[in-house]
Amino acid sequence: MTIAFFLLLIINITLYILSRNRYEDLVYSLCSKEYPLKSFFPLAIYLLEKINYRYNTRYDKKLINKIIEVYGVRNAKKNLIIHWANKISTVLFALLIIFFFGMAIGDIDKGHVFYAIIVLGTLIYGTDRDLNKKLHKRHIQIKLDFPDFLNELTLLIDAGMNVSTAWKKIVSENTKERPLYDELKVVVMEINAGKSEQEAYESFARRCRMPEVTKFVSVVLQNLRKGSNELTAMLRLQANECWVMRKDVAKKLGEEASTKLLLPIGIMFIAILIITVAPAILQLRAL
């Protein structure tokens, strides 16, 4: 165990020296709270480069789809590299700690090895779980904001505007920093840059990856291709459906919040019980 610890330590120090002052454009702007091990990222990125990792496995393809949703297409490759760097840095740091404690304990049995494997597996899964949590949070925020957007768009179209003009008005008057409105802004930018409305709306649906948004885009595209006097009626119907969805999401969030409160409430109850019962127990002992 001692040999393994010092060997791993030497490998980490060597990689750190070789990767020092590299990849600053990738690492420097990262938030330390989100990535506490970002100082080790150059080491991990250098290791990935040396083994000539291609980022083209089935797992990477799943990751890149999630990363595109959370961070956008422009920085997808960069964030995929950062995700891998975070995963490798976490594993290397955990291995150092495991070997250090193993060296301190001295006598290692199968139980220690089993717990070490569990810890490593949990840490490896944890980096993916963080990405899934960000993706889930994004979906929740879009579901909460989408009914408001649909209602506003329907009112503007009913007032005589076309979809594109109403869309631009909503974006120009928006002051919210939320995922849905960021995506709406991208649509306007793409149309202003020369992309057709159809392509811009289809890209919007692909980025959001939600059934409600896909259904909405299908209705809008059908109106663009064939024309329809029932567009506002269809949008109003979908807006009502999305309001029901929003209520369900809010109810679910409330249930999750109440579940999270069970632990602190339980701790408070135990503390109150101890404070109440302890004096009586002490008096009984004194008798």
Domain ranges of the chain: 2-108, 141-248
> Per the structure block, which two tokens stand in for 167?
């869309």
Tens of pLDDT, residues 124-163: 788 888 888 888 888 888 888 888 899 899 889 888 888 8
Determine the pLDDT at residue 169. Answer: 92
Rounded CA gap, 208 and 43, in Å?
34
Q: How crowded is residue 12: how many other Cβ atoms within 10 Å of its Cβ? A: 17
SS3 67: helix
pLDDT digits (tens, 9 = 90+) for 80-96: 999 999 998 888 888 87
Closest CA to 102 of 86, 90, 114: 114
What is the pLDDT averaged over residues 171-182? Answer: 87
Question: What pLDDT score does 189 carry?
Answer: 92
Residue 198's Cα: distance from chain center in Å? 28
CA pseudo-torsion sign 96, 59, 125, 143: positive
Q: With bands split at pLDDT 50, 70 and 90, how would you rate the model's confidence at 168?
A: very high
Which helix (H) or strand (E) covers residue 266, if one does? helix 231-286
pLDDT (mean) for 210-220: 89
pLDDT digits (tens, 9 = 90+) for 12-29: 788 878 887 788 878 888
Rounded CA separation 14/275 (Å): 55
Residues with Cβ < 8 Å from 8, sequence gap 6 or more?
92, 95, 96, 99
Measured between alpha carbons, how far is 160 from 176 in angstroms, rounded to an integer?
25
Residue whose C-alpha is closest to residue 97's, from 22, 40, 30, 27 = 40
Class of the CATH domain delimited by 141-248: mainly alpha
Band of pLDDT at residue 208, cut at 50, 70 and 90: confident
pTM of the model: 0.72
- pLDDT tens across 15-66, in order? 878 887 788 878 888 888 888 888 888 888 888 898 888 888 999 998 898 8
Q: What rounded mean pLDDT belongs to the chain? A: 82
Q: Kind and range of the H or E element at 127?
A: helix 110-158
- Cα dihedral across residues 30, 129, 206, 242: positive or negative: negative
